[in-house]
Amino acid sequence: MYCGLVLLLLTAVLLAAEAVKNDKCGGNIRISSASYLTSPDYPRSYPPSQRCTWVITAPGPHQRILINFNPHFDLEDRECK
């Protein structure tokens, strides 16, 4: 029973998103249904020297967003000097 409840909660938390971009780098993402979310324009990289801010919003005040990063998540390009 406990595992089923946890699975149900995790399923409700993994939500699809609709990106509303203010510009090429940053904007608002409103969650609408269960799914996976990737970085905009993935797998392409962001332009150099950018500071990107994304605001992710759940559909309801009592819902949560679960964020798991891919094990190969890199903050910088490996060839960046």
Residue 35 has a pLDDT of 76
Q: What are phi and psi of 8, to 5 degrees?
A: -60, -45
Rg (CA), the chain: 15
**CB-based contact 77:45 (threshold 8 Å):** yes
Residue 75 has a pLDDT of 66
- The number of helix segments (H) and strand segments (E) in the chain equals 1, 3
Count: domains in the chain: 1
Quote the domain boundaries for residue 21.
2-38+50-57
Evaluate whether residue 77 is within a structural domain: no
Query: pLDDT (tens digit, 9 = 90+) per residue, 22-66?
Result: 446 788 888 888 777 777 677 777 777 778 888 988 888 888 888
Residue 81 confidence class, pLDDT cut points 50, 70, 90:
low
Evaluate whether residue 14 is within a structural domain: yes
Evaluate whether residue 65 is within a structural domain: no
Q: 15: closest CA among 35, 30, 41, 43?
A: 35
Evaluate whether residue 21 is within a structural domain: yes
Q: 29: closest CA among 18, 40, 16?
A: 18
Whether 17 has a pLDDT exceeding 60, the answer reads no
pTM over 0.85, yes/no: no
Whether 1 has a pLDDT exceeding 70, the answer reads no
Evaluate whether residue 23 is within a structural domain: yes
